[in-house]
Amino acid sequence: MRYIKKRSITTLGDAGHEDDPLSGVANLFDLSLVFIVAVLMALFAVFAEQDILKPDSEWTLTKKNDKGELEIITKRNNEIKVQKVTDKKLSGNGTRLGMAYKLEDGRIVYVEDSTGAHLEK
């Protein structure tokens, strides 16, 4: 009996140190710092262009949404536009703006039309 009592007293003395509620806070703080740094590195890797953060920058981004539709996102100064590209055929009156040519190496060249020709239905 004496042996059991002696043992329980020594374990209670050591258990007080193990039950300290603040002992794991330092580890959580370190873990949160590592997580924040990882998120920042991932954001800079995704948006490698620093022009996104500049207020007077202009850029264009194309992406496919969940439905498979193509979206064109353009930013000019502080204005951001999202346009959806569709394969619907349109008809109506309009003005011819120019011609596009595909070169042998795959590049496309747009040449403005200076005659001002009009298209009709």
Q: Confirm if 66 and 84 have CB atoms less than 8 A apart.
A: no
Q: pLDDT at position 106, please?
A: 83
Residue 22 resides in a domain: yes
Give the pairing of strands 79-85 and 94-95: unpaired
Residue 3 resides in a domain: yes
CA 33 to chain centre: 21
Q: Which domain holds residue 2?
A: 1-48
Residue 23 resides in a domain: yes
**The two three-digit tokens of residue 24, written as one number:** 């794991």
User: How far is it, in rounded angstroms, from Cα 74 to Cα 44?
Assistant: 20
Residue 4 resides in a domain: yes
Residue 111 resides in a domain: no
Instruction: Give the pTM.
Output: 0.36
In the block, tokens 């042996």 appear at: 3
**How buried is 74 (Cβ within 10 angstroms: 0-12 exposed, 13-18 middle, 19+ buried)?**
middle
Confidence of residue 39 (pLDDT cuts 50, 70, 90): very high
Q: pLDDT at position 112, please?
A: 83
Mean pLDDT of the chain: 76
pLDDT single digits (tens) 82-99: 888 877 787 888 887 788
**The two three-digit tokens of residue 115, written as one number:** 């005659």
Q: pLDDT at position 66, please?
A: 82
